[in-house]
Amino acid sequence: MSERKKLLEIKNLKQYFNEGKPNEVKAVDNVSFDIYKGEVMGLVGESGCGKSTTGRTIIRLYDATGGEVLYDGVNVHGNKSKKELKQFNRKMQMIFQDPYASLNPRLKIADVIAEGIDIHGLAKSKQERMEKVYELLETVGLNKEHANRYPHEFSGGQRQRIGIARALAVQPEFIIADEPISALDVSIQAQVVNLMKKLQHEKGLTYLFIAHDLSMVKYISDRIGVMYFGKIVELAPADELYRNPLHPYTQSLLSAIPAPDPISERTRKRKTYDPATHNYQDNEPVEFREVTPGHFVLCSETEFKQYQAQSKQ
């Protein structure tokens, strides 16, 4: 793993809305992390913490207020020609949260999936275009008869599969999955996540998997970043984060995951996070520090020493 290639580098990324005004919102505030080729990076946090805005800024649905997004060493938010933007859009795709709103209800499924194929000229004939559509439908667990139907004829889980097929149509390297299972029934969520894991291994994909369901994120992710009010407060390998959560906010999120045993669930104590407990001083700047190899926490120097001592126990 020491030879892993950085596919994406996010450096001091900022996304402010109503910048400079009294109602300014720092949705993404000085966020930095890397994503390595072939891995699944999970990004979790409660609603409104900025995780979806981070994903949308990375893929240029929003122009960044500040910072850099480097894809293969090239700044995504620099001035780009139409040709360069087109090439970038083929490499990076997005699966959206709402499978109902993300599909054009007026288009047949074949045209929904083939939109990227048409834009990038990936089919030389109508026959090749349809063959690619049929192949993509089968890849996501549907069949070619579905190609002539409309989105309203499908269930939520099927629509999300169609959304995945659409993202795969241009053969991307990197996919941002923005809460791809939150609008689905629990019984369907595991099917969609298993499909994404299968496709990752078969096609060598890299994912940024955004969600608020920590148990599902642990299942699919190699590393997990925890966001709180626009900042990443902790980042670690998935198993390490669950085994040894250091930041109080991460601890509160993990304590909220329901246990499968109803008896222990009734007696289990949950932790609540109070930001005031940090009480950062002016002479103790808050930085993103590496407590143990690969385990980073947003903390002051005093907290850093406490976390190091805690990790050695």
| Residue 309: its H or E element | helix 301-312
CB 203 within 8 A of CB 118: no
Residues 159 and 263 in one domain: no
65 and 165, same domain (yes or no): yes
pLDDT of residue 122: 93
**Is 301 or 208 the better-scoring residue by pLDDT?**
208
| Residue 1 confidence (pLDDT) above 50 | no
Check whether residue 144 and residue 14 sit in a common domain. yes
Q: What backbone phi and psi angles, to 5 degrees, belong to 64?
A: -65, 140
Per-residue pLDDT, averaged over 122-128, amounts to 94
Both tokens assigned to 68: 């850099």
For residues 313 and 125, give the distance between their C-alpha atoms in angstroms, rounded to a whole number: 64
Q: What is the pLDDT of residue 278?
A: 65
DSSP line for 234-261: EEEEHHHHHHS--SHHHHHHHHTSPPS-
Q: Domain end: 244, 265, 296, which one? A: 244
Residues 236 and 253 in one domain: no
Is 16 contained in some domain? Answer: yes
- As a whole number of Å, the end-to-end CA separation of the chain is 27
For residue 98, tell me if it sits in a domain. yes
Given a cut of 90, is residue 264 above it in pLDDT? no
Whether residues 258 and 222 share a domain: the answer is no
pLDDT tens, position by position, 206-255: 999 999 878 889 889 999 999 999 999 999 999 999 999 999 999 999 88
Instruction: Give the model confidence (pLDDT) of 277-292 as tens digits.
Output: 765 555 677 899 999 9
> What range does the domain containing 156 cover?
6-244
What order of strands is seen across the sheet that includes strand 25-36?
A: 25-36, 6-17, 66-71, 74-75
Q: 56 and 139, same structural domain?
A: yes
40-94 pLDDT, tens per residue? 999 999 888 999 999 999 999 999 999 999 999 989 887 778 888 888 889 999 9
Q: What is the model's pTM? A: 0.91
Domain count, the chain: 2
Residue 86 CB contacts under 8 Å (≥ 6 apart), including other chains: 119, 120
pLDDT of residue 282: 56
1 inside domain: no
Residue 241 neighbours by CB under 8 Å, 6+ apart:
218, 224, 226, 234, 250, 295
pLDDT at 312: 79
- Whether residue 270 is predicted with pLDDT greater than 80 in this model: the reply is no
Write down the pLDDT at residue 89.
Answer: 87
pLDDT of amino acid 142:
93
Q: Across-strand partners of 42?
A: 209, 224
